[in-house]
Structures are given as C-alpha cells and as structure tokens.
Structure 1
C-alpha cells in the first residue's frame, strides 16, 4: 500500500509541486518505508553540506531511501535500474540520473546534469564503487563521476552506511549483492526481526585544489574507516 501511495503521488501530485515540496514528501515517504521494513535509522556525524555531491558505500537498494531519509537527493544510478518494474519508474520521476556505462559521450551528458542539479541548490548522491557489497568492506572508488563537483567547485561529502543487528553485530540481511535477487533481498529484510542502519555523515572534502583521484581516495579512506577499519588500501584495490 505504501508503494502504491508513492506511485499515485508521483503520477498525480508531483507534476504540480515545486522541487522543494517534492523533496520533503520524498523524505517523509522514505522514512516511512524504512519503518515499514523494520529498519531503524541512526544518523550521526558532521553537519550536512547545503549543496554538493554525497558519496556513499553501496550495500542495498535500500541505500537510496536511507539517504533520502537524511536529505532529498538526486541519484546517479546504472541505466538498467530504469527497467525495473515500478521501482524504475519511481526512480525516473524522482530525479534519478541514469548512467550508461562505457559511453564517454553519455558520461559527459550525465556530468552536465549532475552539475546543473548542484547549481540549483540540490544534493546529488552516488555510489562510486559502481556495484554493491555485503557491507563488510568497501570496494575501490571510481573517480570519474566526481568531476562535476570539482569543475563547479562544490564540496564532496562522504557518507558511510553500516547495517547492523539491534545488538550491534554485522548483518548482511539488507545486502543486494552477488546472485541475490530483488525478491530474495526483500524477503531477507522482512524476515529479520529488526535492522539498524547507521548513517555517518563525514566531514566534507574541499574540491578546490586536489585531483579527482586524490579526492576519491580521501572519500574512500573516510568511509572505510567507519565501515571496515581493519581493511587496508591494498585490499580495497584487490576487491
């Protein structure tokens, strides 16, 4: 019923609302979805930047709604998400930018769209690993999509996502990685008594002087320190 409500609101109400109002509705909807799924959200860390690029480690399709529960954001997503039933359509009407991998021309178009979103005072969120993990480690960050923030002088803020049991132990119940299907992932989440997702907002990184690879390494190190502090840089490159 909550999903149906989201579809109807997006189709019939959103066309008549401004971006800020749509963002507030999306934020409330995301927080409610987490409660329905039995996911408790804990937010901590630094102050959120007013506009700019949020980069996070990627564990689950739920990550999008966790970040939207923090702040309404336009997301950069792989193009095949657009083909998912219902969720793909919802993503398209809720400011998702779809990236076709392997196309340099399309990447330039996407960079322009990201820059425009930030110029209009909005947050843009992306997952620079390019894929999901089970949440126990952080993969190498691809630096190319950080370029719009660098070119426009907007800050980049790392965000660390950690899914835990109520007792604080690691859980992969929300992980959407490997051969796990969307249905299996949803069943795993619903079948868990309760999941606690810790969202750590980390200090923003200035983009004024450093190269995008240096910024990517700094963001990766900050997130890894929260998610998997025992992981070495060599292990991240090997993964």
Structure 2
C-alpha cells in the first residue's frame, strides 16, 4: 500500500514537471528555469527515498562537469547540486515525452561519429559555459553498477579546452545509511528504467554521495591527460584500495588534483 502511494506521488510529480516545462519555461529566464529544475530534482529524490550528500571542493562556475555514470538518478542528483545542461546521445531526442523534456531542459544532443556535428555541439557547449553555466557529461559513455569506473572518452572534454574553461570531476556513489555500497539505484546491463525504479522503491533509504573534486585548468592542457587525472581521482573515491577507509584516499585524490591543476 505504501509503495503504491509512492508510485502515485511520482506520477503526479512527473506531471507537475511536464506542466511546468510546457506552461512556465517559455516565459521565464534560463536562470529561473534552472532554479525550477533544481527544486523539482530535489523533490524527485525525496519521493524516491534518496538523500543527497555533497562534499569536497567548491564548484567552479562556469565549468564542464564530468562524472562517473551509475543511474538515471545521477542527472537529478547533479541538478540538485547545480542546475546543469547535460550532454546526451542524439537518439534520446526521439523518445516520446522524455526527448521533449530533455530538449526543454537545456540538453545538448550529441550525434557520435560526425565531426561536423561535433563542431556544432562544441560551440553549443561553449555558449552555455560562456553564459556562466555548468555543462555535465558522463565520459564513460555508459553506466556501471557503481562499484568501478570505466574508461573515459577524452574527446568529450574538448569543448572545455577549446573554450578555455575548467573541467571539474564529480564522484558519484550510492550508499546505504551506514555507508555500505549498494547497487539498488543502478541502471546497467539489461535493467530497464522500470526495473531500476522498482529496486529503488523497494529500498527503504539510499544516499547518493557526490564528491566535488578540485577544478582542473585546461589552458595548454592535453585532453587525454585531463581525462586520466579525473578518472584516477574519481576511481579513488568510488573504489579505494581499502573500502573501509575512504577518507584518506579521498584526501589524497584531492591533493593530487590540486597539485596537477597548479602545474597546468
């Protein structure tokens, strides 16, 4: 009964988001849209029983945010931290309702394999950052169960380098209230969004931890080196050598990136 009521509230929350996007967004500024999106994302996490936990460095603004990718929930967790324009694969634009919502919420659609389209997308991302906004990408290009970090596609960092804007890494971890790893929010493998949603609803409480790592300057920088630095730092938080002692590894990752940024 309680889970049924939560599903009902989620549907009503989604309808609220659709109506706000359709009736309010066309008449308000981008900043106002961002604040509305942030508020809606906070409400969604609350309805899902997911508590956001933020730690680490201050967010640079503007910046290209790069994060490991575990779940569809990642987008709303990052939007709760800071309203961001996300880079998504182009076919999402064709999805019913979702594609329209994504487009109305500043999503940048990337058609992979097209150099001409990549130049257009790079210019669009640079425009967002020039306006003082955050753009977020998931450089793994896929999702995991959250226990590890896959290879980063360095080409996705090029817009920040071309625009001379910093890159800032975010480590995304899903934990139980006692700090243990959980894959309850995962959206990987053959799982559908509905399967993932059911697993989340069936879990009494989940914490999504977003660790903000120091921004990396892109002036005279190589995108492969930046991708490697960010990957190492995120991996140290997500999957440290000793999972029982995360804090020292996290501090070492922060020190490493501070030193690296100072040398760029």
Which residue of structure 1 lines up, in the alignment, with residue 108 of structure 2?
97
- Please report the RMSD computed on the Cα atoms of aligned residues, expressed in angstroms: 1.1
Does the alignment pair 1:60 with 2:71? yes
Q: Quick check: 1:108 aligned with 2:100? A: no
Higher helix share: 2
1:184 and 2:184 aligned: no
Deviation at 1:197, TM superposition (A): 0.5
Q: Look up the match of 2:158.
A: 147
- Using structure 2 for the length normalisation, give the TM-score: 0.85
Which residues of structure 1 form unaligned runs of 5+? 232-239
- Runs (4 or more) in structure 1 with deviation over 2 Å come to 80-88
Moved more, 20-29 or 97-106: 97-106
Cα deviation code 1:160-207 (max 9, x no counterpart): 000011121111111111100111011111111111000101111010
Q: 1:219 to 1:7 in 2, by over 3 A?
A: same
Determine if the alignment matches structure 1 residue 224 to structure 2 residue 224. no
String of CA shifts for 1:84-113, please: whole Å, max 9, x gaps.
333222111000011122222211111111
Distance in 2, Cα, partners of 1:223 & 1:14: 34
Q: In 2, distance between residues paired with 1:44 and 1:4?
A: 32
| Residue range with higher mean Cα deviation, 84-93 or 111-120 | 84-93
State the alpha-carbon separation in 1 of the partners of residues 239 and 215 from structure 2.
Answer: 20
Determine which of 61, 72, 76 is the counterpart of 2:87: 76
Match of 1:215 in 2: 226
| Structure index of larger Rg | 2
Deviation for aligned residue 1:151: 1.2
Instruction: Find the residue that maps to 1:110 and give its secondary structure.
Output: helix
**2-side partners of 1:131 and 1:79: how far apart?**
14
Name which structure has the greater RCO, CA cutoff 8 Å, separation 6+: 1
SS in 1 for 2:240: coil
Q: Pick one of 191, 200, 206 that aligns with 2:211.
A: 200
| Aligned equivalent of 1:170 | 181
